[in-house]
């Protein structure tokens, strides 16, 4: 039987061993005492079954109980923890609020108590059962346990709670097993099978394997096919119900998607929207505790920074800082096909190309080597240029820039000085208005009367003409005995004299134009000269013209030893200076008209004098030589300044009315503006003309200056001089005036401004004088 | 281009057309419109001969196409346009050329005689046929300006001013053709560039290079004003005796800072003077004070005043003829500037009979007739001169203008 049992059920080895022992004992016992043994066995079996089921049930209960117990315990523990915290936090406080949770403890424990009690009872019970029926229990344990292990599908057994099995033990020693309704004994079924019968049965009965013994009725029950099948299935770990499909498709009710409809139609509980009083109480307690300072919120964990920026606080100027401006070394060009030992045929040079390559300079060659073909890598010889190439590479690295140049980001427009627009600087001459025609040769020099009514011009046709400015009418033509080199109207408005230089002569001429009183007064002034008593040796000869010459207007003739280049008046109108084209020490002479006296201010020759000029206010004298302008103080008789014109050959010079600014025109087509307060170097050099400058002029009243050049143009510039010493002169070129035709490579020979109006006169090599207004 | 509705009218009854609107292409110019009118007139009068017309749209002469003109003038093209037409002034051919030996500095026309001043130090009187009747000689320098003072009967008074700093009042008997210097007006210290006689011919004003204006009496008398003669000028005194009695100014007006280039009487008590100091000044002769100043930006060469339209026209060295309102106290109100010349405007003269016409002469050898209703382009150019034009004048009849020619023959 035990074998049968072991065959049908019984899995754990230990239990089998016990079984075997039991079997052994049973066998032994059976031998001695059959019936009780059987009964005992039966009872045992019954008992074991029962106890087993009980056990399983209990275990489940126990599990649940223990679970709840555990939970409870946990709860308690938590509460105890909480309690501890509270108590520890409020040791000195009154304990009444802290006690509340304590009082609550029993109440929370109460529901678990009966469970525990039950559990204890059950445990005792099982203990007694185990003690009693450990043998029987072990026997059928296999199936039951397996069933139990297999799960919940065990066929519903008789409710063992209602059925008291204690009487089984009670009737152990009796032949009956109980009583029926009538009070008669129910006798135990007669066990008449011995081992032999059993054996024979085993041998002969084909259904023996599915016959089990019912202890209750002591009858042998033959298991039906369905039952066998069920057992097999359970043994295979399958579900008992054939029709049960464990792999039914899963319906996912609770997806992450928000559904419109609730899963259930059940209305929400009231408690789901009523705040829980208990929770509220708890929270309020905690809030109170926090308020009172019993609970301190958990300190946030200090997140330890394990990494930090090594270069965060680095000084960019430190040695490491230069890496920011790192310039990578120039890369070597990667080898191409032509460097291959077996280049494609198109990379190989033909004979002509080779020849051409050899004839080229090494710098011009596209390739530094000749591509060559080798049958295999083995035959490639040593690279002869290797050292050379390495050296070049080293040179490249050595010479490559190590640092980026910080280029100053300047807009070139910003470097151009902000000059006012010419139209804002009006008035200045803009258009040609009048042409004074009459001369037959180039007009070398022009001069305006101080009143601005007359214009005097000297020409190479050996005449001096006087023009009415406003109409261009030639009022007078005076023949002189040579080409007129220079002409200057006396700047004193009360003296009507024009100084004309030709050949070796300076002629003072009264044009007899303008106010009669004035020119008569001039004549009287000249005639009133009284010969000094003692004749002094004169450098020059003063001559008073007579008769015809006098009628022509000639008043005084000053004969010089050499030809006179230039003549100019002092602002007061009594002195005039003449420049001789002589390379001796008598290049400049200063004449005094009223005393008819001449003197040579300079003892030494300091280069060929180009032109001279008087300072308009102070007793200074400007002498322009080829390269520089010297300023002399005539009273102290000393050199004051030497202006370096920075040009090759000064042609002309003009002094600003204020006397602190000088412009010089030069034959190398430059115009230099000197500010005497600033420096002896030019304040500004204008290179607007394309050819040599022949004449420059300042306007007396307007901030204008002009230059005439061989390129036939007159350039008018705005030259504002400020009284404020801090402000440098403002020079703006405003207008290029063209009109003169270039004849014999000469354009404009002289320029002169009108004394009142912003008009400019220019005389040209085309024998005309033009007025621009 | 679109069609425009236009209605033509004229004040000349001779050329009247029916007062009905016409549809005219916008691209049509003066010539097209003129043809239209001529066609209409031919339809009306069979004996009509072709006449060139000029057209005025809202008081402005039409010089471009009709559409562009209306666009620039801001006239709506939706409505019917009123177009006035007048007979076009056709540039006249010079009728006569009065040749001088030297430059002519000034001219003054008269219904009968023409008075010219010349750079050969004389003034001349010419008749209509261009025959020189009289040469007024006596000045020692260039005659800068001439003016008739009085012209009634056989004896007429005329005035010449010269660079020799004098203005001489002459008496000319046209019947006997005798001229006599009555008064020599001395006092200026520069060339007397301009003289002007007042309306009732009792005074004249002279402007000089010495920046002064002087008012003189224009009535000949037999008394000689006392002139502080300096004893050391015998030569000059001799001349004075030749030139008639010396006269001193009634009044000297100083205020200009540059040469006075032109003077005129706008009233019997008001003198206008233009100067190189860029100003036109109005002087009150009664009090001898300056009334107002008009400031320009360029040198003024000449001014002219029209009593008809009460405007001043000035010619300056920047090619523009500017019109001024002399009554404006604002100073420099330029009402209009007429621009077409290429050189200095040396002479400008309002028409004595037409309130919108003036004539100008310029250094660019052109004489132009202007209408103030067309300030961009003149009515016509007279390009008969070969050299600079220095002065212009109108004859009394107002139809033909006289102008001097600079000839150096």
The residue with tokens 């209509």 is B128
CA gap B16, B12 in Å, rounded: 7
Please tell me if residue B110 touches chain A, with a CB cutoff of 8 Å.
no
pLDDT for residue B93: 67
Is 60 exceeded by the pLDDT of residue A98? Answer: no
Binary contact (A433, B297; C-beta < 8 A): no
- B103 in contact with A, Cβ within 8 Å: yes
> Mean per-residue pLDDT for A389-417?
81
* CA–CA gap between residue B381 and residue B354 (Å, rounded): 18
CB atoms within 10 A of CB B221: 11
Cβ <8 Å between A773 and B388: no
- Is residue B8 within 8 Å of residue B23, measured between CB atoms? no
CA distance A147 to A160: 17
Residue A580 in 3-state DSSP? strand
| Nearest partner of A686 among A737, A647, A725, A720, judged by Cα | A647
Task: Count the neighbouring beta carbons within 10 Å of the beta carbon of residue A152.
Answer: 6
Q: Check CB contact under 8 Å for A434 and B103.
A: no
pLDDT at A156: 54
Q: How far, in Å, are A43, A603, B77 from residue A174 at the CA level?
A: 12, 177, 143
- Residue A288's pLDDT is what? 93
Q: Map residue A370 onto helix, strand or coil.
A: coil
- Residue B388: list chain A partners with CB under 8 A: 471-472
3-state secondary structure of B309: coil
Give the distance from residue B243's alpha carbon to the nearest chain A alpha carbon, in angstroms: 17
Cβ contact (<8 Å) for A756 and B276? Answer: yes
C-alpha torsion sign, points A679, A680, A681, A682: positive
Select the residue of B119, B189, B346 nearest A473 (Cβ to Cβ): B119
pLDDT score of A281 more than 90? yes
pLDDT at B56: 80
Nearest CB to A756; choose among B119, B258, B297:
B258
Among the partner-chain residues B119, B190, B299, the one whose CB lies closest to the CB of A514 is B190
Q: Which residues have a Cβ under 8 Å from the Cβ of A195 and sit 6 or more positions away?
A: A30
Q: Where are the beta strands (DSSP E) in A373-472?
A: 432-437, 443-448, 454-459, 463-468
Do B183 and B203 meet the contact criterion of CB atoms below 8 Å apart?
A: no
A121 interfaces chain B, CB cutoff of 8 Å = no
Check if the beta carbon of residue B160 is closer than 8 Å to that of residue B146. Answer: yes
Per-residue pLDDT reduced to its tens digit, A423-477 = 888 888 888 888 888 888 889 999 998 888 889 999 988 889 999 888 888 888 8
Angle, CA B27 vertex, CA B25 and CA B32 arms, to 5°: 75
Tell me the shortest Cα–Cα distance from A433 to chain B, in angstroms.
Answer: 6
With contact defined as beta carbons under 8 Å apart, do B384 and B76 qualify?
no
Mutate to test the interface with B, among A470, A494, A524, A528 (most CBs of B within 10 A): A470
Per-residue pLDDT tens digits for A603-614: 787 888 888 999
Token reading at B63: 């010089």
| pLDDT mean across residues, chain A | 76
Segment holding A70, helix H or strand E:
helix A34-89
Q: Are the C-beta atoms of B121 and B407 separated by less than 8 Å?
A: no
**Distance between alpha carbon B14 and the CA centroid of its chain, in Å?**
31
Those residues with Cβ within 8 angstroms of residue A620's Cβ, 6 or more apart along the chain or in another chain: A614, A631, A632, A633, A634, A640, A659
Residue A160: pLDDT band with limits 50, 70, 90: low
Query: Residue B176 is encoded by which pair of tokens?
Result: 């006997």
- The shortest C-alpha distance from A588 to chain B (Å) reads 37
Interface of A with B in 485-544 (CB under 8 A): 514-517, 520
Among chain A residues, the shortest Cα distance to B142 is held by A475
For residue A18, the SS3 value is helix
Instruction: Using an 8 Å CB-CB cutoff, list chain A residues near B209.
Output: 451, 453, 514
Instruction: Report residue A108 as tokens.
Output: 């929370």
DSSP state of B285: T
Give the pLDDT confidence score for residue A391 in this predicted structure.
93
pLDDT recorded at residue A716: 92
With b for 16 or more beta-carbon neighbours within 10 A and e for fewer, the A620-645 pattern comes to bbbbbbbbbbbbbebeeeeeebebeb
Q: Are the C-beta atoms of residues A544 and A556 closer than 8 Å to each other?
A: yes
Cβ of B59: how many Cβ atoms within 10 Å? 11
C-alpha closest to that of A647 among A605, A697, A600, A689? A689
Rounded-to-integer distance, Cα A245 and Cα A114, Å? 41
A476: closest CA among A500, A425, A447, A510?
A510
| CA dist., res. A422 & res. A719, Å (int) | 12
Q: Answer yes or no: is pLDDT of A756 > 80.
A: yes
CB A155 within 8 A of CB A52: no
Question: How many Å lie between the alpha carbon of B405 and the closest alpha carbon of chain A?
Answer: 13
Task: Decide if A434 and B363 are in contact by the 8 Å CB cutoff.
Answer: yes
Cβ atoms of A237 and A246 within 8 Å: the answer is no
DSSP A710-769: TTSEEEEEEEE--SSTTSPPEEEEEEEEE-PPPBTTB-EEEEEE-SSSS-EEEEETTSEE
Which residues of chain A make contact with B165, given a CB cutoff of 8 A? 515-516
The three-class DSSP label of residue B374 is strand
Q: State residue A751's pLDDT score.
A: 92
Structure tokens at A258: 């928000």
Share of chain A above pLDDT 90, in %: 10
Which helix (H) or strand (E) is A170 found in, with range? helix A166-170
- C-alpha B8/C-alpha B17 separation (Å) is 7
- Asked if the Cβ–Cβ distance from A773 to B258 is below 8 Å, we say no
Q: How far apart are the first and last CA of chain B?
A: 54
In this predicted model, what pLDDT tens digit does every residue of B292-320 receive, in sequence order?
A: 888 888 888 888 888 888 888 888 888 88
Q: Does B352 touch chain A (CB under 8 A)?
A: no
* A571-609 per-position pLDDT tens digit: 888 888 988 887 777 888 888 888 888 888 887 878 888
Q: Is A51 helix (H, G, I), strand (E, B) or coil?
A: helix
Partner-chain residue, chosen from A451, A471, A514, that has the shortest CB–CB distance to B390: A471
Interchain pair B233, A773: CB under 8 A: no
What is the tens place of the pLDDT at every residue in A175-224?
887 888 988 888 877 766 788 888 888 888 888 888 887 776 767 888 89
* pLDDT tier, B36 (very low <50, low <70, confident <90, very high otherwise): confident
Alpha-carbon gap: A617 to the closest alpha carbon of chain B (Å):
24
Return residues 366-395 of B near A (CB < 8 Å).
388, 390
Alpha carbon distance, N-terminus to C-terminus of chain A: 150
Q: What is the CA radius of gyration of chain A?
A: 69
Pairwise CA distance, residues A137 & A130, whole Å: 8
Instruction: State whether ipTM is beyond 0.85.
Output: no
- Nearest-CB residue to A773 (from B190, B317, B390): B317
Average pLDDT over residues A249-278: 81
**Any A CB within 8 A of B102 CB:** no
Alpha carbons B40 and B56: distance in angstroms, whole number: 18
- Share above pLDDT 70 across residues of chain A, in percent, rounded to a whole number: 75
Q: Do A757 and B233 touch (CB under 8 A)?
A: no
**How near does any CA of chain A get to the CA of B189, in Å?**
6
Distance between CA B63 and CA B356 in Å, rounded? 17
Distance CA A358, CA A372 (A): 15
Q: In what order do the strands lie in the sheet with B289-295?
A: B260-267, B270-275, B279-284, B289-295
What is the C-alpha to C-alpha distance for residues A298 and A438, in angstroms, rounded to an integer? Answer: 115
Instruction: Count CA within 13 A, CB hemisphere, residue A450.
Output: 16
Pairwise CB contact (< 8 Å): A516 & B165 = yes
Rg for chain B (alpha carbons), in Å?
A: 24
pTM equals 0.63
CB B211 within 8 A of CB B260: yes
Distance between CA atoms of A462 and A442, rounded to whole angstroms? 10
pLDDT on residue B1: 53
Give kind and range of the element (H or E) at residue A20: helix A13-32
Q: What is the mean pLDDT of residues A64-89?
A: 42
Give the integer Cα–Cα distance in Å for A602 and A633. 12
List of residues 6+ apart from B225 with CB closer than 8 A: B245, B246, B247, B248
How far apart CA A531 and CA A529 sit, in angstroms, is 6
A178 touches chain B (CB under 8 A): no
**Mean per-residue pLDDT for B196-202?**
85
Q: What are A418's two structure tokens?
A: 């902000």
Distance (Å) from the alpha carbon of B191 to chain A's nearest alpha carbon: 7
- Element of type H or E holding A52: helix A34-89
């Amino acid at each position: 039987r035990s074998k049968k049992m072991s065959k049908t059920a019984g899995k754990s080895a230990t239990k089998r061993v016990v079984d075997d022992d039991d079997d052994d004992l049973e066998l032994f016992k059976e031998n001695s005492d059959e019936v009780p043994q059987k009964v005992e066995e039966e009872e045992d079996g019954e008992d074991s079954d029962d106890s087993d089921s009980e056990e399983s049930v209990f275990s489940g209960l126990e599990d649940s109980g223990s679970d709840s117990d555990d939970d409870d315990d946990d709860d308690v523990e938590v509460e105890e923890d909480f309690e501890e915290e509270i108590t520890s936090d409020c040791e000195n406080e009154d304990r009444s609020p802290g006690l509340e949770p304590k009082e609550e403890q029993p109440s929370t424990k109460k529901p678990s108590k009966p469970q525990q009690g039950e559990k204890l009872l059950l445990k005792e019970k099982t203990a007694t059962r185990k003690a009693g029926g450990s043998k029987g229990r072990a026997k059928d344990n296999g199936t039951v346990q397996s069933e139990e292990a297999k799960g919940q599908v065990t066929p519903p057994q008789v409710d063992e709670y209602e059925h008291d099995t204690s009487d089984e033990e009670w009737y152990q020693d009796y032949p009956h097993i109980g009583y029926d309704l009538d009070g008669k004994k129910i006798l135990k079924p007669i066990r008449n099978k011995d081992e032999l019968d059993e054996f024979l049965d085993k041998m002969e009965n084909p259904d023996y394997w599915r016959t089990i013994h019912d202890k209750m009725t002591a009858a042998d029950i033959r298991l039906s096919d369905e039952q066998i099948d069920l057992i097999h299935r359970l043994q295979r770990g399958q579900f008992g119900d054939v029709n049960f499909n464990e792999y039914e498709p899963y319906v996912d009710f609770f997806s992450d998607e928000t559904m419109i409809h609730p899963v259930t139609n059940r209305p929400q509980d009231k408690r789901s929207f009523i705040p829980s009083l208990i929770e509220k109480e708890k929270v309020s307690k905690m809030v109170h505790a926090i308020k009172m300072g019993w609970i301190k919120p958990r300190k946030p964990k200090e997140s330890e920074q394990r990494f930090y920026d090594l270069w965060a606080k680095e000084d960019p100027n430190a040695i490491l800082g230069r890496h920011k401006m790192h310039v990578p070394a120039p890369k070597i060009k990667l080898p191409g096909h032509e460097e291959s030992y077996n280049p494609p045929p198109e990379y190989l040079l033909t004979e002509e190309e080779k020849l051409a390559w050899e004839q080229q300079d090494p710098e011009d060659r596209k390739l530094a080597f000749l591509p060559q073909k080798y049958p295999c890598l083995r035959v490639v010889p040593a690279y002869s240029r290797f050292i050379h190439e390495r050296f070049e590479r080293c040179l490249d690295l050595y010479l490559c820039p190590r640092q980026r140049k910080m280029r100053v980001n300047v807009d070139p427009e910003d470097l151009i000085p902000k000059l006012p627009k010419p139209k804002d600087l009006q008035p200045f001459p803009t258009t040609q208005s009048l042409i004074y025609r009459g001369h037959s040769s180039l007009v070398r020099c022009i001069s305006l009367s101080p009143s601005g009514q007359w214009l005097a011009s000297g020409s190479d046709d050996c005449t001096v003409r006087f023009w009415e400015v406003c109409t261009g009418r030639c009022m007078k033509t005076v023949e002189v005995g040579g080409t007129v080199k220079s002409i200057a109207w006396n700047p004193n408005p009360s003296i009507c004299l024009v100084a004309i230089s030709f050949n070796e002569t300076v002629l003072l001429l009264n044009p007899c134009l303008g106010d009669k009183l004035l020119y008569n007064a001039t004549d009287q002034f000249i005639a009133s000269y009284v010969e000094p008593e003692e004749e002094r040796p004169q450098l020059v000869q003063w001559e008073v013209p007579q008769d015809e010459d006098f009628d022509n207007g000639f008043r005084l003739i000053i004969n010089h030893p050499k030809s006179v280049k230039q003549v100019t008046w002092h602002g007061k109108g009594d002195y005039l200076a003449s420049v001789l084209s002589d390379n001796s020490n008598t290049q400049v002479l200063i004449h005094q008209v009223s005393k008819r006296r001449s003197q040579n201010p300079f003892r030494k020759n300091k280069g060929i004098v180009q032109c001279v000029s008087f300072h308009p206010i102070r007793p200074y004298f400007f002498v322009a030589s080829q390269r520089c302008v010297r300023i002399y103080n005539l009273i102290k008789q000393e050199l004051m300044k030497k202006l370096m014109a920075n040009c090759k050959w000064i042609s002309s010079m003009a002094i600003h009315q204020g006397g602190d600014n000088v412009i010089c025109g030069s034959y190398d087509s430059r115009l230099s503006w000197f500010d005497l307060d600033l420096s002896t170097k030019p304040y500004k050099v204008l290179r607007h003309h394309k050819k040599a400058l022949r004449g420059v002029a300042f306007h007396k009243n307007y901030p204008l200056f002009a230059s005439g050049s061989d390129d036939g143009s007159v350039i008018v510039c705005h030259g504002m001089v400020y009284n404020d010493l801090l402000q440098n002169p403002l020079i703006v070129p405003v207008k290029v005036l063209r009109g003169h035709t270039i004849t014999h490579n000469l354009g404009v020979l002289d320029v002169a401004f009108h004394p009142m109006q912003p008009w400019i006169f220019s005389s040209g090599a085309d024998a005309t004088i033009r007025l621009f207004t | 281009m679109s069609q425009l509705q236009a209605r033509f009218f004229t004040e000349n009854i001779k050329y009247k057309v029916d007062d009905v609107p016409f549809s005219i292409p916008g691209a049509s110019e003066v010539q097209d419109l003129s043809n239209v009118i001529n066609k209409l007139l031919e339809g009306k009068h069979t004996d009509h001969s072709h006449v060139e017309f000029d057209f005025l749209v809202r008081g402005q002469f039409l010089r471009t196409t009709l559409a562009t003109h209306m666009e620039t003038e801001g006239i709506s093209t939706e409505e019917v346009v009123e177009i006035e037409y007048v007979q076009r002034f056709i540039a006249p051919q010079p009728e006569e050329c009065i040749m001088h030996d030297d430059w002519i500095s000034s001219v003054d026309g008269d219904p009968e005689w023409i008075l010219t001043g010349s750079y050969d130090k004389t003034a001349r009187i010419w008749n209509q046929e261009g025959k020189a009747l009289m040469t007024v000689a006596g000045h020692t320098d260039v005659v800068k300006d001439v003016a008739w003072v009085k012209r009634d009967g056989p004896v007429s008074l005329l005035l010449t001013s010269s660079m020799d700093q004098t203005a001489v009042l002459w008496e000319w008997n046209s019947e006997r053709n005798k001229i006599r210097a009555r008064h020599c007006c001395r006092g200026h210290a520069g060339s007397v560039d301009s003289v002007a006689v007042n309306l009732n011919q009792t005074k004249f004003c002279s402007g000089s290079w010495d920046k002064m204006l002087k008012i003189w009496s224009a009535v000949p008398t037999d008394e000689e004003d006392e002139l502080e003669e300096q004893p050391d000028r015998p030569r000059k005194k001799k001349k004075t005796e030749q030139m008639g009695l010396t006269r001193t100014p009634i009044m000297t007006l100083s205020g200009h800072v540059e040469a006075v280039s032109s003077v005129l009487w706008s009233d019997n008590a008001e003198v206008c003077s233009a100067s190189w100091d860029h100003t036109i000044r109005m002087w009150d002769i009664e009090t001898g004070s300056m009334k107002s100043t008009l400031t320009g930006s360029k040198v003024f060469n000449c001014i002219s005043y029209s009593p008809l339209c009460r405007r001043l026209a000035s010619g300056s060295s920047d090619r523009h003829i500017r019109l001024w309102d002399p009554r404006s106290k604002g100073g420099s109100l330029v009402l209009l500037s007429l621009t077409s010349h290429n050189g200095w405007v040396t002479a400008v003269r309002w028409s004595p009979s037409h309130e919108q016409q003036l004539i100008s002469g310029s250094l660019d050898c052109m004489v132009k007739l202007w209408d103030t209703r067309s300030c961009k382009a003149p009515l016509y150019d007279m390009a008969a001169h070969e050299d600079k034009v220095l002065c212009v004048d109108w004859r009394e009849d107002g139809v033909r203008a006289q102008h001097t020619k600079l000839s150096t023959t």
